[in-house]
Structure 1
Amino acid sequence: MTQNSAHASHLILGVCDYPEHVPPDRWEHYAKQQKALGLTHVRLAEFAWSRLEPEPGAFQWQWLDQVIDILHQEDMQVVLCTPTAAPPAWLVHAHPEILAVDAQGRTRTFGSRRHYDFASSVYREHSRRITTAMARRYGRHPAVAGWQTDNEFGCHDTTRSYGPASAAAFRAWLQQKYSSLENLNAAWGNVFWSQEYTAWEQIQLPNLTVTDPNPSQVLDHARFASDMVKEFQEEQVRILRECSPGRFVTHNFMGFFADFDSHAVAACLDFASWDAYPTGLLETCSFLAEDLKHKYARTGHPDLISFNHDLYRCLKNNKQGFWVMEQQCGQVNWAPHNPLPADGAVQLWTAQAWAHGADGVSYFRWRAATMAQEVLHSGLLRHDETPDRGHLEIQQLQPRDFVPGEVPAQVALLHDAESLWLFDQQRHNQHLTYWQQVMLYYSTLRSLGVDVDVVQPGADLSAYQVVVAPALTLMSEAHAANLKKASEHAQLVFGPRTAFFTETGQAFDKGQPGSLSELLGGRLKNFDSMRPTLKEMLGGYEVTLWAESYRLQDAQALHVYESGPLAGECAVMQKGNVLTIGAHSPGLVHDLLREVALQAGVSVLDVPEGIRVSRRAGKMLVQNFNAYGVDFLGTRVPAVNFEVFEDT
């Protein structure tokens, strides 16, 4: 039987440690310190390949044997990693063909990490080989609780390679998908600009084109690259299942990652994990306004963190408890700016993770690195081994107060990787991205005190009172049927650009929203991509960036535009319990979602700015991300802190 983090009676606390970075005389001392701090799990070895196999086939296990045995003596458990995120120099030297090639045609060379092409058969062979060797050695060790595959798939823009290995594999993938060039040419619309192919070998990867590449080809290339990650993952997981029975297998995904389908890649795992760096995520978030980045510079924006918690909690259809495999515990080193977190932030982030369904939180890292690229990144210990701020905050945590249980979400927000790829490939407005549109709806729901599951459009939606689809621009027949089924019991809300494209990336030839037109009660009439200086009005609400209007069939118009080229045309239409919003307008979206939630019987709790509430296991966690205390629910919630209430 596979172990799962949900078996624990309270929140698991762990740490990422790198014994290969320090002298062996520190190993036992660190293990005792980690146990004394209340940590129970230690993640090891995700970048240790060169120490485990310094020469081809010459394995050096002794040091890792010793580390794992020391932790076992302290009753600590180990999450062991396959070290394939950093192939060693000898492998790259012997097989330079494993290296990835970027979109500009440049080989990405050795000297950092993630320097491989997922489609390389040579690298796949070595991945299986090192995974098998590790799993056979440690797979049944009593201290090994589970495995993490690789590390942060796709980080540093490494999902999609444009080299020979991927080019050959892409052509083979297309042949299997389309069977004939006639089918492929039709699916991609290759008659446009004389792009028709007469031989498979003529097909290249969609980079270095004179102007925009064919969007349908880009979509299929994104699908192909995602499938390569999925295959790579599945190969490792099969080995781990065989050689290490009874241990969980997970992978540490990243926030707002767009380059592969996380649902598909996670399908073979026991549960998902992700790496939460709230201040770094804030700094690298392109769609967040500068005033919000300033306000939340030392805590991270609560909704950026919680969206990813909700996504990874729901990544598996059974919604087993996820882990935060790397939790920020001080300043990071990789963002444009790297402020020191506020006092209390580490405790707040830990509690927030639990409230959104996390069963484990592992802090990155134990001791700050004294070498190489991450010397400015914090750890629980400083360079001189004295406890840093995060260490002191964890000492004050009471993880037994955080018990397992379900997140009682009544609202589903739909996220779809293929819609993301198409939306951002043809934005039509450089200031409006898929994530920006999705987060407008998600943040609005969170501002109403509503718990949210982030799920696929093909998921079972029978348990939800409200289903919100902010940006489903690609609509398959299967997803359309699932949404129609959901409308039989739930309130449905659709955002702009709904069902604009077919599964091949072409526009519906009978107009949008394609096969959803009967469900929505109207069809798209016009759309207006507005520069940031343009603003239009409807019903007292300001509309920016995007506006679309509808030809009504049997829906009714709730709002019409009052200005601009769409004046007098329908901006929001409703048919029964299905609402379609065509305007990018935060105020309008807020008021409409609030009304829909109340109509559906979902409890609404209007929360002050910087305050968020989350429910789990019969408790309600009130989180304050403000730098000042806030009176809420009859209690003064201190600055950058939280309070736990019974969920009544």
Structure 2
Amino acid sequence: MSTIRTLSVPGIAYGGDYNPEQWPEDVWAEDMRLMREAGVTMVSVGIFAWALLEPSEGVYDFARMDRLLDLLHENGIAADLATPTAAPPAWFFRAHPEALPVDRDGRTLSYGSRQTFCPSSPAYREAALRIAGALAERYAGHPAVAMWHVHNEYGCHNAECYCDTSAAAFRRWLRARYSDDLAELNHAWGTTFWSQWYYDWDEILPPRATGAVPNPTHQLDWRRFCSDELLSLYVAERDVLRRAAPSTPATTNFMVMDNFDALDYWRWAPELDVVSNDHYLMSADPESEIDIALSGDLMRSLAGGPWLLMEHSTGAVNWQPVNRAKGPGELRRNALAHVAHGADGIAYFQWRAAKAGAEQWHSAMLPHAGTDSRIWQDVVALGQDLKALAEVRGSTGTASVAIVWDWNARWAVELPSQPSGELRFQDLVRDWYEPLWRAGVAVDFVRPEADLSAYRLVLAPSLYLVDDAGAANLAAFAERGGTLAVGFHSGAVDENCHVRLGGYPGAFREVLGVRSDELFPLLVDETVGLSGGGTATLWSERVRLAGARAVTSYTEGPLTGVPAVTRHTYGAGTAWYLATRPDPATLGALLTRIREEAGVEPVATTPLGIEAVRRRGPHADYLFLIDHGGQGAEVPVAADATELLTGKPASGSVTVPPGGTAVVREPHGADGS
């Protein structure tokens, strides 16, 4: 029987990265006092402490960590103890300069920051497993250690290394993928094009800088390899820790956010005992609350239930062109929105704002100004909120809509030499997610081959690459009675980036009942009119009906009168095709029509500006109502409901204060409804 590994910290865990090595030890006692005041229950420690824990190769100094863990335990604060392998010390690189990463242009990068190692380096792997083993041996039984934190943000700065060691590792990975059959690789990569045929495995290199566009399948397999290579490092460290402490859960922090796409987290998530995420707002996004919701729903889907927010910010970050401070109430809204979308833990980078180093202008729970600050007041108040929400832990989402998300499709559609260089996977997904979010419709994310039996509606906004099994699974969902909606340029290529011949949208022609023979991408800022009064941008194509009927057509340009949106009855279900990118209002109205026809209802009826999210527990539902509009509202709820943040009965309705949040417990009926 397998060992069950879950986080032992009760309620909604609360805390952040704690780096006491940056401060004199006489500060630690104050940290403990203030952590208790804030309601902190768990901190991540040791993430960047390698140079102090192992001052020279094989020589360890655990005295500081011993004192720290003992102090945390004495104060009732759990430790998420990290392996410090994201930042090897200088002595390592002096001994092993071959472990430094090499960029696409052949430049060897220097140490002096973090994640400055080649993921395929044998010397790095040996050193990383050695320090992980030393930590495991010493602290496996320590009462403060509630979880292992393996590495930190894998791939954040070194997802790709193009050195000769990486090239050799890439070839080993390819030989395994293609069953040691070079002819199979040549076929998959289409190497008859541009005389790229390989006669020996040693001829294959990473897709380094070259004079023209590299082979797309070569680039795609490289992305797959890089994700798998880093995953192998995680698994190796985790297994070292697991042997020493079989029941202690292990995690590493994902980065499901707008600008990071290096790793295929569908492959990673099953290897984690507790799935965790780092999420930071983008200052240029005027509605970053939508990204919080989208990433939270994706994390809940990856985890198959609750997850942990391992890092976010109390205020500004330090790495964007302009680092915006959060407005009044935003810290609380952000944190509770993550909880609404499945987080069972809320943590920040970091506990105490650094006075030196690259992240000295990154906000923290305890800012430079100290406790006489709005951030500190908000941090203490949030601790009370999370304590009041302890019973929410373990509850899950209840969605009847799924959005297809696939990293292979994302990587492939953003490769060079597409019909349009403006295609961006996450933008297209957010286009479709946003109207559902505004309407209060619960959403899961799924792989193309996932079990879809729980859903009424499945959306595939951008699925350029899909294999036969995934395409068949989506078609079967519609045939059995589901509603499927597919976005433009989907189904175009197979898993090897080979164009599916016979017309577009390739793998989905039959289920959608359409066939396109030519693509007409639009120029930047170019629009075309749509029947019904809307407009469209980015994309158009010459669609011919092959069983479907036109819902919307183009009213101008070379495709005047050609269908832009179609609907097809397929088996017992319905399949829609959006062959363009409608303006937000038109897309919102269309998706409302599609979901209403599918029988999908919002989780609650709320005024404009109020986000509604529901988590379901064994005995009650938890309705989160978050005011992003700043107006507040009165929202109807169950007659026997209770507002948890105030502890007051709701008596059929609840007041959401302007810019505030309400969390309502609605007990299930005797029938569980």
Coarse TM-score class (shorter-chain normalised):
over 0.9
SS for the counterpart of 2:540 is strand
Letter in 2 for 1:45: G
Residue correspondences, number: 627
Partner of 1:159 in structure 2?
Answer: 159
- The alpha-carbon deviation at position 477 of structure 1 amounts to 1.5
SS for the counterpart of 1:396 is helix
CA contact (8 A) 2:564 2:580 kept: yes
Q: 1:63 to 1:134 in 2, by over 3 A?
A: same
- The alpha-carbon deviation at position 549 of structure 1 amounts to 3.5
- CA–CA separation in structure 1 for the residues paired with 2:360 and 2:368: 9
* Residue 258 (1) aligns with residue 261 (2): yes
* Residue 495 (1) aligns with residue 487 (2): yes
SS for the counterpart of 1:315 is helix
Which residues in structure 2 correspond to 1:589-604 (within 5 Å)? 589-604=587-602
- CA–CA separation in structure 2 for the residues paired with 1:610 and 1:194: 57
Letter in 2 for 1:574: R
- CA–CA separation in structure 1 for the residues paired with 2:61 and 2:202: 44
Partner of 1:614 in structure 2?
Answer: 613
CA deviation digits over 1:316-349, x for unaligned, max 9?
A: 3xx1311110121122111111121111111111
Partner of 2:645 in structure 1?
Answer: none
CA contact (8 A) 1:380 1:387 kept: no
- The alpha-carbon deviation at position 130 of structure 1 amounts to 1.1
- CA–CA separation in structure 1 for the residues paired with 2:556 and 2:171: 50
CA contact (8 A) 2:551 2:565 kept: yes
Q: 1:234 to 1:186 in 2, by over 3 A?
A: same
Q: 1:155 to 1:437 in 2, by over 3 A?
A: same
- CA–CA separation in structure 1 for the residues paired with 2:427 and 2:537: 13
Letter in 1 for 2:316: Q
- CA–CA separation in structure 1 for the residues paired with 2:6 and 2:122: 32
- The alpha-carbon deviation at position 607 of structure 1 amounts to 6.2
CA contact (8 A) 2:371 2:377 kept: no
* Residue 430 (1) aligns with residue 421 (2): yes
Partner of 2:541 in structure 1?
Answer: 548
Which residues in structure 2 correspond to 1:571-590 (within 5 Å)? 571-576=564-569, 577-585=574-582, 586-590=584-588
SS for the counterpart of 1:328 is coil
SS for the counterpart of 1:333 is coil
Partner of 2:4 in structure 1?
Answer: 2
TM-score by length of 2: 0.90
CA contact (8 A) 1:380 1:389 kept: no
Q: 1:177 to 1:137 in 2, by over 3 A?
A: same
TM-score by length of 1: 0.93
- CA–CA separation in structure 2 for the residues paired with 1:612 and 1:550: 37
CA deviation digits over 1:447-481, x for unaligned, max 9?
A: 22111112222222211111111101111112123
- The alpha-carbon deviation at position 415 of structure 1 amounts to 0.6
Higher deviation after alignment, 501-510 or 179-188: 179-188
* Residue 24 (1) aligns with residue 25 (2): yes
Partner of 1:508 in structure 2?
Answer: 500
SS for the counterpart of 1:267 is helix
Letter in 1 for 2:4: T
Q: Alignment identity in percent?
A: 35
Partner of 2:220 in structure 1?
Answer: 219
- The alpha-carbon deviation at position 625 of structure 1 amounts to 2.5
Partner of 1:640 in structure 2?
Answer: 659
- The alpha-carbon deviation at position 63 of structure 1 amounts to 0.4
CA contact (8 A) 2:543 2:562 kept: yes
SS for the counterpart of 1:274 is strand
Higher relative CO (Cα under 8 Å, sequence separation at least 6) belongs to 1
SS for the counterpart of 1:588 is helix
CA deviation digits over 1:190-232, x for unaligned, max 9?
A: 1111111222222221121112111111011111111101111
- The alpha-carbon deviation at position 263 of structure 1 amounts to 1.5
SS for the counterpart of 2:396 is coil
Higher deviation after alignment, 440-449 or 25-34: 25-34
* Residue 459 (1) aligns with residue 450 (2): yes
- CA–CA separation in structure 2 for the residues paired with 1:145 and 1:131: 16
Higher deviation after alignment, 267-276 or 79-88: 267-276
Letter in 2 for 1:249: A
CA contact (8 A) 1:615 1:647 kept: no
SS for the counterpart of 2:551 is strand
Match of 2:337 among 352, 367, 385: 352
- CA–CA separation in structure 1 for the residues paired with 2:353 and 2:338: 23
- CA–CA separation in structure 1 for the residues paired with 2:655 and 2:335: 20
Q: 1:380 to 1:580 in 2, by over 3 A?
A: same
Partner of 1:125 in structure 2?
Answer: 126
- CA–CA separation in structure 1 for the residues paired with 2:443 and 2:16: 28
Q: 1:529 to 1:609 in 2, by over 3 A?
A: farther
- The alpha-carbon deviation at position 609 of structure 1 amounts to 6.0
SS for the counterpart of 2:271 is coil
Match of 2:513 among 494, 516, 521: 521
- The alpha-carbon deviation at position 384 of structure 1 amounts to 5.7
- CA–CA separation in structure 2 for the residues paired with 1:466 and 1:350: 29
- CA–CA separation in structure 1 for the residues paired with 2:251 and 2:542: 44
Partner of 1:169 in structure 2?
Answer: 169
Unaligned residue ranges in structure 2 (runs of 5+): 637-653, 668-673
- The alpha-carbon deviation at position 431 of structure 1 amounts to 3.0
Higher deviation after alignment, 261-270 or 605-614: 605-614
CA contact (8 A) 1:2 1:245 kept: no
Partner of 1:415 in structure 2?
Answer: 405
Match of 1:367 among 352, 364, 372: 352
Higher deviation after alignment, 81-90 or 191-200: 191-200
Partner of 1:323 in structure 2?
Answer: 308
- CA–CA separation in structure 2 for the residues paired with 1:497 and 1:327: 34
- CA–CA separation in structure 2 for the residues paired with 1:166 and 1:632: 59
CA contact (8 A) 2:150 2:252 kept: yes
Partner of 2:649 in structure 1?
Answer: none
